[in-house]
Each structure stands twice: as structure tokens, then as C-alpha cells.
Chain A
């Protein structure tokens, strides 16, 4: 087990383009989270999956954002019609559903919108 894996590590895109990021959680973890981190700030929660069900979405997740976890394993985060304000590090994390376990984070995808 190599931990949480995210792809790509870096993405530069032009404003208005669509981008998609992938996250592969730790294999036995059924809980998966997406966070966004902007420069000089701590990560902010975006959304949470329990298996394939998306159980919570933050108000930060506008209509241009969509996340899926179709088979309860990997997840994708898509941003449509990117804006410069979307530039950030997008972090994926996973955890088991045992009581009080911590989340393990991937290395993140750094998005730059030009």
C-alpha cells in the first residue's frame, strides 16, 4: 500500500477549460474526502464520500464542480469552465470508518488557471 495517490500532480489550464483530477485512496478505506488549499491558508473541506455515495458537499463546491466515486474506489473531481480563482492545491484524503481514525492525505494536485 503506497498511500493516497493523486494524478496529475500539476495542471496548468487556460481560463474556461475543463479539468479533471483523479484520486486513488488507500485500498481498504471506504471514506474519501476532497479539500482545497489556497496559498497561505489551511485546507478547506469540499466534499465527502462514504463508498460511492456523496454524503456532504460544501458551499465552496459551486455548480461548476462535480465529484464522483462511481465504484467506491477511486474518485474524480471535475471543474468546468475554470476561473482564475480556482487556482489552488486540491487535496484528496481517505480514512477507514473505524471510530476516531485520522485521515491520510495525498500529495495534491496543484491547479494553475491562466
Chain B
């Protein structure tokens, strides 16, 4: 069965330090992977996606993600964290049976806390 796992409920990092939010996936074919961010009482905002091509994907607000097929991972990274990056981050994979539309399978989310 297809799935997404975010192994950390919370990640704590000091402002200015690099951050990593982990995501692993399970699909049978080639994955279509996404990262979204959710601020309190808000909807999800798209950060970046991997469809094909370069394994390092750059997205909004200085975030990037590295696709690793052998490890079935798609970790979110940022070289220097900001306090304003504190939010809930979701990794998602597109359902292979969806026929190309955005039926997404989400992980449970990781709360990122950036401390001054």
C-alpha cells in the first residue's frame, strides 16, 4: 500500500542553523512528491514538488528537498532557519491510481519550532 511517513513529530532548531524535516514514502512506481506548510488556523501552502529530473528541488521561502530513490526519502531542508519558519510541515505523495490528478496521501506532519 502507498504511504508517507514523517518519523519526527517535532523538530527543534536554533535560528540561523540548518534544518531538516524527514519524509519517507512507499509507492510501487515513480513517486510524485510534495511538501506543504501549514500555519496555525490556516490551510496548506505549497512549498515544492518532485516529479522528475534533478534530485535536489528548490522551492519557496528558501526551502529545498532532496529526492533519494534508493532510500525512498524526500527530506525537506533549509540552510538557515528563521523563527518565522515555525509551522506544521506535511509531506505528500500523489496516489498512483489517481490518473494524474492531485489525490494526495499525506504524512501525519512534523511541527518545526525555530528558537531565537
Chain A contact residues, CB within 8 Å of chain B: 4, 6, 31, 33, 35, 40-45, 48, 50, 55-56, 91, 93, 95, 97, 99-108, 110
Contacts and interface: CB of A to CB of B under 8 A. Distances in A.
Contacts of B95: 45
Nearest to A40: B108
A57 to B, nearest CB: 11
Given A40-B108, A42-B92, A105-B36, A33 B103 contact: yes
B44 A105 contact: yes
Contacts of B103: 33, 45, 48, 56
A83 B43 CA distance: 23
Contacts of B98: 48, 56
14 contacts: A31-B101, A33-B102, A40-B109, A42-B90, A42-B92, A42-B109, A43-B106, A45-B103, A93-B102, A100-B32, A102-B34, A103-B46, A103-B102, A108-B43
Indicate the size class of the contact surface on chain B.
Answer: 20 to 34
B72 interface: no
B36 to A, nearest CB: 7
Interface of B: 4, 32, 34, 36, 41-46, 49, 51, 90, 92, 95, 98, 100-109
A55 B100 CA distance: 13
Contacts of A95: 101-102
A110 to B, nearest CB: 8
A105 B43 contact: yes
B109 A41 contact: yes
Which of B51, B100, B104 has its CB near the most chain A CB atoms (within 10 A)? Answer: B104
Contacts of B44: 43, 91, 93, 105
B64 to A, nearest CB: 16
A49 B42 CA distance: 23
Contacts of B104: 35, 43, 45, 103
